[in-house]
Homo-oligomer: A and B are copies of this chain.
Amino acid sequence: MEDLLSTVDIKVNEKLFLKNPTSSELGMRIVNFGISMIQEVGFENFTFKKLAARIETTEASIYRYFECKHSFLLYLINWYWGMIEYRLLIETANIDDPIRKLYKSLHVITSVPNPENELVFQRELSLKSLVINESAKIYRTKAVDKENEDGAYSVYKSIVARIVELIVAINPNYPYPAMLISTIIESSNHQRFFKDHLPKLTNTVSNKDAFEHFALDLINKTLEINGKR
């Protein structure tokens, strides 16, 4: 894969920002340093004031880009899923067999990218651990219905819908395709979190990505896919 990635502009739902951070250098600094600061201190200890000090701007300036810190997190996670959807599109474009397409899709969605093996967005790498650690916090609030109306979860839903189509093509009788795929996506995040913090809640296999094997086995057996490809 060539480096078309760096020139591609990931579109994020316009309701998630007041002023597009990609439109200015300050905006980009807010996003880039915001990502690393959230990773350093955790989302609950992250404030716009601290970020402003770090990038030598003011709190007020950051508020010109984002309404509140929660929509900043939503924005980042949407950017992440936007990149994943884009990769999904290009990396499965030339695959016809739905089973191989599903395997590849699962890999794109759930794997922790290894920059030595595959070319990925630089930002995807830095966002991955943020998604693992913080994404469970975005949904479960009283604001979820309003945010959903505003399209805050539409990329995520569209990715799930895309994989659901593949599952239906592979096994039209399986009754829970959306449940299966959203379970795997969510599980990918929390199992990776467990691995680092609550290892008794997960399993590891030496030198392998245990989660990917687990997920593949799960998919093969639940959808009754037999044989290797």
Per the bound structure, the CA–CA distance linking A210 and B198 in Å amounts to 29
Cα A197 to Cα B153 with chains together (Å):
11
Q: Which range holds the interface residue count of chain A?
A: 35 or more
- Could you give, for residues 160-180 of chain A, a 1 whenever the CB lies within 8 Å of some chain B CB and a 0 otherwise? 110000000000000111111
If the complex has contacts A157-B200, A182-B201, A222-B217, are A44 and B141 also in contact, measured as CB distance less than 8 A?
A: yes
Interface of chain A, main secondary structure: helix
Q: Is B136 in contact with A137, judged by CB distance below 8 angstroms?
A: yes
Q: How many copies does the complex hold?
A: 2
Interface membership of A110, Cβ < 8 A:
no
In the complex, identify which listed stretch (A20-28, A73-81, A100-108, A185-193) lies at the interface while the others stay far away: A185-193
Restricting to A177-229, which residues have a CB under 8 Å from any CB of B?
177-180, 182-183, 186-187, 190-191, 193-194, 197-198, 200-203, 205, 210-211, 213-214, 217-218, 221-222, 224
A43 at interface (Cβ–Cβ under 8 A)? yes
In the complex, residue of chain B having the shortest beta-carbon distance to the beta carbon of A191: B179
A154 to B: closest C-beta gap in Å:
9
Cβ of A140: which chain B residues have Cβ within 8 Å of it?
42, 44, 133-134, 136-137, 193
